[in-house]
Chain A
Amino acid sequence: MFRRVKAEEEHRLVHLDRDRALVEAALRDPAAFDALYRKYLAQVYSYAYYELGSHHDAEDAAERTFLLALGALSRFEERARPVDGEGASTFRVWLFRIARNVVANIQRGRRRHPVAPLDYAAIVADPLDLEGDVSRRQEAGAAWAAVGRLPPERRRALVLRFVEEMSTAEIAGVLGRSEGAVRVLIHRGLRAVARDLGGRRW
């Protein structure tokens, strides 16, 4: 449930979570969870896909994440205070923290049973694009590969920023770091990608 720290903060908390109405509807009737699922499926799936590099594993992660979220919805708390910034604690952040744990669990299994590395160029290829904009695909493939070579936390921060379009406060909530630390992660990640792409002359 949403915890109200102070009465005067109530309005602010409502503002913090754009999904509050959907969450409350799902708490009253689990069938209403479908709206949250439809809204966030692609985001959770994308996050898992960038982390795991396999559609099969991304489906697995998305399925586990949403089933767990549905079962634990009554334990969702909006913990942010106004000083934490807009979006610091929302259903989306909570959902992504579950996804992050699920993905990490799958990665642990992979370390026991290693799989082939992700072929970024193949992923970007659009099967409907028969003409094939080769140079654009190569650029996209290079960008994906450069991000894939980053240390995990920098990669996650960039994916949450560019793919999921999260604010710094939201990323901080997902990764469990301060906003300042997230800014530094993103800055260093961008710098490393710039060096990588520059050096490879894409």
Chain B
Amino acid sequence: MTLEADRGEPEVEALRVDRYLESILVARERGAVAVLHDPRLDAELRATAERLSSHLVRVHPSFRFEERLARRLADAGDALRLPAAAGAGLRIPQPPVATRTGAFDPVDLLDPVRLIDDDDPFGIRARPLLIGGALTSAAISLAGAALVAWRLSRPVHPMVRAIRAAHGRAGHQGGLA
């Protein structure tokens, strides 16, 4: 136990608990009952681990939900089979997806490496998403296409058109000067 000798008491106990829990997992995987017996492990901790092991059960979703989401994923998968050339390297704007719980930015959620700080778990900033190749989310692609179509098709207010024209003229004059 050289490993333990170099550590403080709480750390050693944490290590013992870890080994004990690991033995529970291994025993379960093998369908065995026997787990590591370490007399140095605190009896109260062992009893609590056993209780949590038997009471913290996995919760399954309804079959109806499972099949509905499976169909949705299959539809999204079908859309992903589009030729790579169609969306290769295309940068599309990401419209926010309205949800019951507020604004939802799928782009940040796609970044599993970005860790959430508990003190500031939502320092989320919008940024464009680079869609590479054919493997792109159907939902995102469709949403992006819909936004572009909407922006192209919506009627522009005459005042907006006038402001754009004025900006265009100013830019042109500035460029000449």
Same complex origin of A and B: yes
Which residues of the partner chain A approach B138 to less than 8 Å between Cβ atoms?
A: 71
Q: Which listed residue, A43, A70, A100, A106, touches B80 by the CB 8 Å rule?
A: A70
Known: A27-B135, A139-B51. A183 touches B17 (CB 8 A): yes
Which residues of chain B from 49 to 99 have any CB-CB distance to chain A below 8 Å in the complex? 49, 51-53, 55-62, 65-66, 69-70, 72-74, 76-78, 80-81, 99
B137 touches A187 (CB 8 A): no
Q: Which listed residue, A67, A109, A124, A194, touches B99 by the CB 8 Å rule?
A: A109
Which residues of the partner chain B approach A191 to less than 8 Å between Cβ atoms?
A: 45
- Sorting the interface of chain B by its residue count into under 10, 10 to 19, 20 to 34 or 35 or more gives 35 or more
Question: Chain A: which residue is nearest B108 at the CB level?
Answer: A101
A183 touches B109 (CB 8 A): no
Determine whether A23 belongs to the interface, using a CB cutoff of 8 Å to chain B: no
B56 touches A68 (CB 8 A): no
Determine whether B40 belongs to the interface, using a CB cutoff of 8 Å to chain A: no
A47-79 vs B, CB cutoff 8 Å, 1 = contact: the mask equals 001100001011110111011101111110000
B48 touches A98 (CB 8 A): no
C-alpha gap A69/B45 in the complex (Å): 37
Which residues of the partner chain A approach B55 to less than 8 Å between Cβ atoms?
A: 124, 139-140, 143-144
Q: Which listed residue, A123, A162, A186, touches B17 by the CB 8 Å rule?
A: A186
Q: Which residues of B contact A (CB under 8 A)?
A: 10-11, 13-15, 17-18, 21-22, 25, 28, 44-45, 47-49, 51-53, 55-62, 65-66, 69-70, 72-74, 76-78, 80-81, 99-102, 104-106, 108-116, 118, 121-122, 124, 132-133, 135-140
